[in-house]
Amino acid sequence: MRKNLLDFSYEELIEEFNKLGLEKFRVDQVWDWIYKKKVFSFSEMTNLSKEHREALSDRFLINIPELLDMQISQIDKTTKFLWKLEDGNTIESVLLFHPDRVTACISSQVGCPAKCAFCATGQSGFVRNLSAGEIVAQVIAMEKERRVNIGNVVYMGMGEPLLNYNEVVKSVKMLNHKKGKNMSMRRISISTVGIPERIVQLGNDLPEVKLAISLHAPTNFKRDMIVPMNKKYSVEEIIHAAKEYQRITKNRVTFEYILIREFNDFVDDAEKLAELLRGMGAYVNLIPINPVPTIGEIKMERPHHWAIERFKEVLDKHNIENEIRKEKGTDIDAACGQLRRRHIDKKKA
């Protein structure tokens, strides 16, 4: 059975190529075709001999996902992709356009086991982890499809990255490798719902990569209601791990806080959040929720504008740096999981 060449690190490929009698510089050539020229067929790699191309074709595939759907915002060019993987499963990726950079939001799993109440991905269930090659392929495929150079990558798409730790770390190193995408570690962010031991491990393994923690509530009582994994990893454990991560890396931690109307948008919530983060030098992303179906007794509705501003004012008062996230792609299915879920629903109909 042929293997996905994108699943191999540069060093692993040197070993694989050596088995075929191919020198190290042939790996450089192949990676240049893939990462720089966006060529995914060995037959088109013209600086390799016919014999070498045939040998590689017999042993490897270059698995780039198939584009099933693409939505482009008429407001800000935000682009949502639905990809079909080799086994027929689907994942999403997003391109975000800023004045000075293009950011890719990529997935690390098919579905998600975290099952956060406000997330369409979690509501569709967990299927499997992505391989490092399937993670990296999203970046390459988006660059080719939209003819852009991606400058930043955020692991904030489908899935919980720290529950697919080894493949995520491997994919980061592949994107960072000077022979590949050559992306600075500091331009890569990993978002997690909070797996304490992995947060600390990430600080040791990838100290330059940025960390974002999806907190969404300042107390265990409220967080238990919207983030099921909080029953395993408490708010206190997550904050302790974040502080240890900061001690190791000297990096500032970003906390994502989805604001849900009359659930976690009260002054008391803001006061408790400020107290929780006091002295950390943390940064808080305030995110008015993208409405999803009501879960239990909690109506997943966007707060009133004045409630969002009131929450921000409390954090400002306590010198907690924060920002209300500017929405992108509001005219398309930009929220994570929406496009995939719609595709699944269509197949069932």
pLDDT of residue 124: 76
Span 66-348 CATH architecture = Alpha-Beta Barrel (3.20)
pLDDT of residue 294: 58
Residue 273 labeled ligand binder: no
CB neighbour class for 320 (10 Å; exposed up to 12, middle 13-18, buried from 19)? buried
Span 3-61 CATH architecture = Orthogonal Bundle (1.10)
- Tell me whether residue 92 is one of the annotated catalytic residues: yes
pLDDT of residue 119: 84
- Tell me whether residue 105 is one of the annotated catalytic residues: no
pLDDT of residue 342: 60
- 252 phi and psi, to 5 degrees? -80, 140
Residue 105 labeled ligand binder: no
Positions of CATH 1.10.150.530 in the chain:
3-61
Positions of CATH 3.20.20.70 in the chain:
66-348
* Selected catalytic residue, list 23, 54, 92, 145: 92
Three-state secondary structure call for residue 173: helix
Q: Closest Cα partner for 320 from 262, 261, 277? A: 277
pLDDT < 70 regions, the chain: 291-296, 333-349
pLDDT of residue 327: 78
The b-or-e profile of 135-159 (16+ CB within 10 A means b, else e) is: bbbbbbbbbebbeeebebbbbbbbb
Structure tokens at 312: 């921000």
Write down the residue that tokens 């014999």 correspond to: 51
Predicted TM-score (pTM) of this structure: 0.94
Residue 279 labeled ligand binder: no
Distance of CA 61 to the CA centre of its chain: 25
